[in-house]
Structure 1
Amino acid sequence: MKRIENNHFQTLNDYVYKIQLTVRATAAATYIIKDNSIVNEWYSGRHDYPENSRPVDEKTQFNVGSIRKTYLALAISLLIEQGRIRSINDEIGTYLHEYKKIANGVTLRHLLTHTHGLMEERGRFVREFPAGANWAYRSPGISMLIKLVHHLSGQHLSTFMRNNVFDVFQLIETGWRTEYHENLIYNYYKDKDTWVGPNSSDEGDQSNLFISARDLAMWGYIHLTKGCLGGKQVLPKSVFERITTLQTPNTVPAHLPRNGFIWWLQSDTPLNQIGERLPSCSYQILGITGCACLVVPKYNAVVVRMYNQLSNPRGYDYLSDVRQFGNLANDLLMMV
């Protein structure tokens, strides 16, 4: 992929730097691919607070939080392609019998679109609302889908993704990490109550997926091109078409978010996390550490930002920030 050197996106870099200071992140990065070229690559800060900490660069890998869930989404779509899942309208209990009772009526579609209505209470899954009646960002749906991948493929999510995607697309700066390495931003794990969760498993079942900015941009690019790389169709287009198509049940009230397979789709809703000026074809995924991967097919572009955000300071409005980031990206992409 060729690189185009210019400062066209400096306004976006400046905005990301301003938010870096606001949220007291020690590290930040942006990476933009447009028309099959790298048009912006920017790094800021260090891996931790001490001045002798490693500077952020192209090898730096960030903990991306919930962005990991789109890797699970691709695994589910691949299992459909392989014929191991018949339909996302199947109930999860059809495949995992231990969920037949508590998840009665809950389909894979509900799990993939945060409309399953289950929540965890004192270590048990309980019903919060009827499946398909509402939208809520809860962890049980993700846990069930991770178990489903292992059940159907005989491989842990991390192994399945490495064998079917990471190795194929040479995503060597992507993985579930359990041990310190100088390229990883690891300052979260100094606190026993870290909000990114434990990092004791490399199976893909924890929130310890670390990715470089360029690998995350490539992740978005794989979706943008629908599995095509270097003029070759590496994975079937249908795998990506179902991921980025509206999958939210029509029983969900219109004012609630719309999702494909996990990915946020552009929608005029109060909780929408995509800037309103971005085209209707846009989709995005976000992580609690402030990382984001935005795909804009109309502009043939992928826009990534990375942070190691450790807190939400008083007065910081996350929704306003991420929408402004997207709107600014839109305005700059329009002018290229």
Structure 2
Amino acid sequence: MRLRMVAIAALVAGFQCLAGYNAAIGATDGQDLQEVWPTKSWPVSTPEEQGMDSASLARLIETVGTYKQDSLMIIRHGRIVAEAYYAPYVPGISHDLRSVTKSVVGTLTAIQLQKGGLDSVDHPVIDLFSDKEIQNVDDRKTAMTVQSLLDMTSGIEWVERFYTPDETLMRMFKSPDRTAFVLNQPMAGAPGAKFNYNGGNPYLLSALINRKSGQNAFDFAKKELFEPLGIKSAKWGAVDAQGVTIGEAGLFLSPHDMARIGYLYLRNGMWERKQIIPSSWVERSKEGKIAATNGFHYANLWWSLPDKGAYMARGRHSQLILIIPKQDIVAVMTGVLRDNEFYSISGLIDDISKAVKSDKPLPADPIASTLLTNATRQAATEKPTAVAGAPELAKTVSGKAYQFTDNELRVKSFTLNFLDSDSSWVITTYTGKAERPTDRFTGLVGLDGFYRKSPPALYGINAAKGRWINERTFAMERRILGRGEIQTWTLSFDGDKVTVNFENTDGFKAELHGEMSE
């Protein structure tokens, strides 16, 4: 599509949107819904005022709370009807979105189309990187388009299994030029023929933003997406050596701001009567023409369940922006679930849908409202884990620094302080930088089954708790609130020596061997 055609299409779309605006903002069955744009803040409503049942939402909050979730928020007709934060996570903390980042990169690509910076999603990829000496070029790579990147059907040979020797994504991150690394991969099949989840595809799209806008994806997003939507919580990882923002993960947003992304799609790409992304882009994302995995469909870096009438942005460890257009609903969920733990998205859609009773307001229900209030309050109340008393060894190891041999975690030393109050831990690590050879991390640790939160640090808020498993083994569970990860440090003491077994929610494991320093 030529620039002129893009401009004409945008103009026509603008007139169409204004002409049919009441339908676009979610009026149903003759109900005249007030226009809602949550740029400054989200309006709050009782579920009954929006045709939903408080008791059903209370049960949903309780059910979600049985998993390692951080938050759940449900919005109908542009108003928050249910919002829960599960301790120790609290409101206002930006959350690691993992692969929800991909859907945002897709949205930025849509903005490039809307503004005419990208002429067409059918543009061949290697033409857009013509200055690169691309390897393994054949007819299949020549046919690879922007759309095939967006649909995870690029045909690039790619293995994405975490912490395995042939894992392509990790090799990409070790490459001095990650964009070139992706472009140089051989082809496994014809573009468009087969779905293959590939973190290199959104990396190329992020690099394309640099080329077309002269800005990295984060700077482009701040101006063209986050500022118009009122998003202020955004954090994104550092750019690579070529100035490219990581496209496959790394974005942090608060749940409220995650919901703004979903609401943009629910309103067909419009915000405050301005078309931010093409409505046709939203329709394709919703339709999900590409058959993916486990019954899901895919398109434009968004997942969908067409038979459920819903589409979504999904990230590892239970990050979710869910859109149910027919019910005018956006739902957001964040968490720290392991890969073998998951909350059924299909079940979540069903549970939300069952709570919808009408497109018109329901009578107030004080009893159900109380149930919802109590469920929300209980979610924010931490439940302690079982602990045992401290052995005599605790006095011996308290305050002692244990030095470690070379290890994958680059840990130099580990110290535990067991006091009557404010017990704490200290970890020092090697940085590999001459100007600052070590880093020091410290925080409080609860010994009573509850997390202890530490004062905010540059990297976030630590929350940790620990317990003695037996006379010589202490296990500490550490979180940085808002990160989709739980770390477990299990220290087994043997005289002056210690063995530390580390494991995190990503499934990464390491064994460290240390000795008490003099």
Is the TM value for this pair above 0.5?
yes
Residue-pair matches, total: 281
By percentage of residues, which structure has more strand? 2
Aligned residue among 303, 306, 313 for 1:285: 313
SS of the equivalent of 2:121 reads coil
State whether structure 2 residue 232 is matched by structure 1 residue 157.
Answer: no
Q: 1:251 to 1:31 in 2, by over 3 A?
A: closer
SS of the equivalent of 1:130 reads coil
Could you tell me which amino acid in structure 1 is paired with residue 300 of structure 2?
Answer: F
Which residue of structure 2 lines up, in the alignment, with residue 106 of structure 1?
A: 144
How many Å apart are 1:81 and its aligned residue?
1.6
State whether structure 2 residue 86 is matched by structure 1 residue 44.
Answer: yes
Question: How high is the TM-score relative to the length of structure 2?
Answer: 0.50
Task: Indicate if the aligned counterparts of 1:16 and 1:305 stay in contact, CA closer than 8 A.
Answer: no
Could you tell me which amino acid in structure 2 is paired with residue 173 of structure 1?
Answer: S
Matches within 5 A, 1:78-97: 78-97=111-130
Task: Indicate if the aligned counterparts of 1:159 and 1:203 stay in contact, CA closer than 8 A.
Answer: no
How many Å apart are 1:95 and its aligned residue?
1.0
Which residue of structure 1 lines up, in the alignment, with residue 334 of structure 2?
A: 306
Bigger relative contact order, structure 1 or 2 (CA pairs below 8 A, ≥6 apart) = 1
Q: Distance in 1 between matches of 2:288 and 2:147?
A: 8
Task: Indicate if the aligned counterparts of 1:243 and 1:263 stay in contact, CA closer than 8 A.
Answer: no
Structure 1 moving runs of 4+ over 6 Å: 247-256
The 10-residue stretch of structure 1 (320-329 or 140-149) with the greater mean CA deviation from structure 2? 320-329
Question: How high is the TM-score relative to the length of structure 1?
Answer: 0.74
Could you tell me which amino acid in structure 2 is paired with residue 11 of structure 1?
Answer: R
Deviations 1:27-76 (A, max 9, x none): 51111110121101110111xxxxxxxxx222022101000111111111
Task: Indicate if the aligned counterparts of 2:151 and 2:290 stay in contact, CA closer than 8 A.
Answer: no
Q: Distance in 2 between matches of 1:169 and 1:327?
A: 29
SS of the equivalent of 1:126 reads coil
Q: 1:206 to 1:82 in 2, by over 3 A?
A: same
Aligned residue among 233, 237, 246 for 2:273: 233
Which residue of structure 1 lines up, in the alignment, with residue 420 of structure 2?
A: none
Task: Indicate if the aligned counterparts of 1:116 and 1:130 stay in contact, CA closer than 8 A.
Answer: yes
How many Å apart are 1:204 and its aligned residue?
4.6
Q: Distance in 2 between matches of 1:247 and 1:223?
A: 9
Matches within 5 A, 1:49-60: 56-60=89-93
Matches within 5 A, 1:172-321: 172-177=232-237, 203-205=245-247, 207-229=249-271, 232-236=272-276, 239-245=278-284, 257-267=296-306, 278-279=308-309, 282-309=310-337, 311-313=338-340, 316=341, 318=342, 321=344
How many Å apart are 1:209 and its aligned residue?
1.0
Q: Distance in 2 between matches of 1:139 and 1:254?
A: 16
Which residue of structure 2 lines up, in the alignment, with residue 141 of structure 1?
A: 201
Task: Indicate if the aligned counterparts of 2:203 and 2:248 stay in contact, CA closer than 8 A.
Answer: no
Q: Distance in 2 between matches of 1:210 and 1:323?
A: 25
SS of the equivalent of 1:289 reads coil
Task: Indicate if the aligned counterparts of 1:242 and 1:260 stay in contact, CA closer than 8 A.
Answer: no
Matches within 5 A, 1:12-91: 12-20=60-68, 28-46=70-88, 56-91=89-124
Could you tell me which amino acid in structure 1 is paired with residue 71 of structure 2?
Answer: A
Could you tell me which amino acid in structure 2 is paired with residue 312 of structure 1?
Answer: D
Task: Indicate if the aligned counterparts of 1:92 and 1:108 stay in contact, CA closer than 8 A.
Answer: yes
Could you tell me which amino acid in structure 1 is paired with residue 202 of structure 2?
Answer: I
Greater C-alpha Rg? 2
Could you tell me which amino acid in structure 2 is paired with residue 296 of structure 1?
Answer: I
Task: Indicate if the aligned counterparts of 1:58 and 1:214 stay in contact, CA closer than 8 A.
Answer: no
SS of the equivalent of 1:10 reads helix
Q: Distance in 2 between matches of 1:139 and 1:86?
A: 24
Q: Distance in 2 between matches of 1:158 and 1:63?
A: 15
Stretches of structure 1 that go unaligned for 5 or more consecutive residues are: 21-26, 47-55, 179-197, 268-275
Q: 1:160 to 1:127 in 2, by over 3 A?
A: same
Could you tell me which amino acid in structure 2 is paired with residue 87 of structure 1?
Answer: S
Q: 1:248 to 1:168 in 2, by over 3 A?
A: closer
Once superposed, what is the RMSD of the aligned Cα atoms? Answer: 3.0
Q: Distance in 2 between matches of 1:170 and 1:224?
A: 16
Q: Distance in 2 between matches of 1:40 and 1:248?
A: 27
SS of the equivalent of 1:148 reads helix
SS of the equivalent of 2:348 reads helix
The 10-residue stretch of structure 1 (94-103 or 77-86) with the greater mean CA deviation from structure 2? 94-103
Q: Distance in 2 between matches of 1:250 and 1:323?
A: 18
Fraction of identical pairs, as percent: 17
SS of the equivalent of 2:83 reads strand
Task: Indicate if the aligned counterparts of 1:32 and 1:40 stay in contact, CA closer than 8 A.
Answer: yes
